[in-house]
Chain A
Amino acid sequence: MIDRFQDIQAWLEDQPHLLRLGRLFSETVLIEVEGEEIYLTFEKGRIVSVEAGPSRKTPWRFALRTDAEALEQFWQARPAPGFHDIFGLAKIGRGRIDGDILCLVKNLRFFKEVMALARHTEEGAA
């Protein structure tokens, strides 16, 4: 799973509008997929590190916890209802968002579009 986020890290570099939207976002986000921890560290809109856990020493601002199959569905070009959005995953019981939710909401468009970058491969647009 970590390789998907390394791909996202690279693709983000080719998205000038996202780098602009995220220019004030410098936080660490925990992605937890069936217990596998992945720490995404953002610095002014760039992902400067993608680190595998587990880690009890890495502070994070907010976390998205889900399962691998749900994420793969999320990354489909046209996901089924509920799988089409990170809040949808939470709504259908396939995901959970913890931590500083207000921080997430303040940067919601940026974070959702970063998470959806893997959809580009489905459309051949990456």
Chain B
Amino acid sequence: MSIEPITGRYLTIEIGGTLRRIYFEEAGQGRAVLCLHTAGADTRQWRHLMNDAEVTAGHRLIAFDMPWHGKSLPPEGFETQEYLLTTEAYIETVLAVVAGLGLERPILAGCSMGGRIALQLAALHPERFSGFIAIEASDFQPAWYDIDWFHRPDAHGGEMGAALVSANISPYAPNAERWNTLWMFMQSGPGVFRGDLSFYTRDDSLIGRLGQIDTGKTPVHLLVGAYDLTCTPEDAKRTAAAIPGATVSVMDELGHFPMSEHPQGFRPFFLDALARMPRVAVQAA
């Protein structure tokens, strides 16, 4: 028998003029690291790092479920709404969580769409963070698929989404963690993966903002798995090259969900990324 050190609580904040009940988990003490999950998934993607004593000895890892995801409910009236995530709503949500939890310039670590929004925040709101770890993140990825496939009445969007994203998981991933990773997609609410993909595959506003990121004040480190078909190493390198001073590491045996699919393979890269972030939050914003 064992009880993990992760604790989960709920935070109510105002987003888009309405109150939202946000589920978040945390573990550890020290520098705050706010962790963002990928499209179609939730906080559980960070479970391994939150249970990693070497990581949590000096870091307070916090992850939250975006509205509509995991244990965060959709907004009141969702039954008549079409969920389509936007850059603006995503930024507002992350900043509201930072404020709501009273986080003082945390490191922001995001994967996939979470990495995309981390780079948006690096460009638009760097004063709220001390550094950025952008995992499987790129400037823009148009869809080669039809996002409407994943929300239709005659098929299970979660099962189709899981089957699609399985293409992004490395064959080096332990089988149990591969399926734990896919399970989150299978559980995703109807239309949620589609709504996330709408943001990820249609909003290219980051491209023109990359050059304004000041890595002298807030470092940016990108991590990308060689088995990621969605954000390839070429995509991440192109993105890093457009950010003066950004660094990038290619993870040869990992895919698009490294912290979830292959925790042992990912941890040295994540520890290295943390080591690149400032030890103490800069005084002046």
Binding site for B on A (CB under 8 A): 77-79, 81-82, 84-88, 91, 102, 105-106, 108-109, 112
**Within the assembled complex, what's the spacing in Å between the Cα atoms of A105 and B167?**
12
**Within the assembled complex, what's the spacing in Å between the Cα atoms of A86 and B171?**
13
Q: Which A residues are in CB contact (< 8 Å) with B172? A: 78
The answer to whether A88 and B229 touch (CB under 8 A), given A79-B171, A105-B149, A106-B155, is: yes
Nearest chain B CB to A97 CB, angstrom units: 10
Q: List 23 A-B contacts (CB under 8 A).
A: A77-B171, A78-B171, A79-B171, A81-B226, A81-B227, A84-B170, A84-B227, A85-B229, A86-B167, A87-B164, A87-B229, A88-B229, A91-B144, A102-B146, A102-B149, A105-B149, A105-B160, A105-B163, A106-B155, A108-B160, A108-B163, A109-B162, A109-B163
Do A84 and B160 touch (CB < 8 A)? no
Binding site for A on B (CB under 8 A): 144-146, 149, 155, 159-160, 162-164, 166-167, 170-172, 226-227, 229
Looking at A77, A78, A85, A91, which has the most chain B CB atoms within 10 Å of its CB? A85
Do B171 and A105 touch (CB < 8 A)? no
Closest partner residue, chain A, to B150 (CB atom):
A105
Do A82 and B229 touch (CB < 8 A)? yes
Closest partner residue, chain B, to A79 (CB atom):
B171
Q: Which B residues are in CB contact (< 8 Å) with A78? A: 171-172
Closest partner residue, chain A, to B171 (CB atom):
A78
The answer to whether A84 and B171 touch (CB under 8 A), given A102-B149, A106-B155, A109-B159, is: yes
A-side interface mostly:
helix
Looking at B149, B159, B162, B229, which has the most chain A CB atoms within 10 Å of its CB? B229
Q: Which A residues are in CB contact (< 8 Å) with B226? A: 81
**Within the assembled complex, what's the spacing in Å between the Cα atoms of A118 and B162?**
22
Do A108 and B171 touch (CB < 8 A)? no
Nearest chain A CB to B136 CB, angstrom units: 13
Closest 7 CB pairs of A and B: A108-B163, A85-B167, A109-B163, A78-B171, A87-B167, A81-B226, A106-B155
**Within the assembled complex, what's the spacing in Å between the Cα atoms of A107 and B144?**
18
Do B162 and A91 touch (CB < 8 A)? no
Q: Which A residues are in CB contact (< 8 Å) with B227? A: 81, 84
**Within the assembled complex, what's the spacing in Å between the Cα atoms of A112 and B146?**
19
Given A87-B167, A112-B166, 16 other A-B contacts at CB below 8 A?
A: A77-B171, A81-B226, A84-B167, A84-B227, A85-B166, A85-B167, A86-B167, A88-B229, A91-B229, A102-B146, A105-B160, A106-B155, A106-B160, A109-B159, A109-B162, A109-B166
Nearest chain B CB to A124 CB, angstrom units: 16
Do A88 and B149 touch (CB < 8 A)? no
**Within the assembled complex, what's the spacing in Å between the Cα atoms of A87 and B227?**
12
**Within the assembled complex, what's the spacing in Å between the Cα atoms of A64 and B126?**
46
**Within the assembled complex, what's the spacing in Å between the Cα atoms of A108 and B162?**
9
Closest partner residue, chain A, to B252 (CB atom):
A81
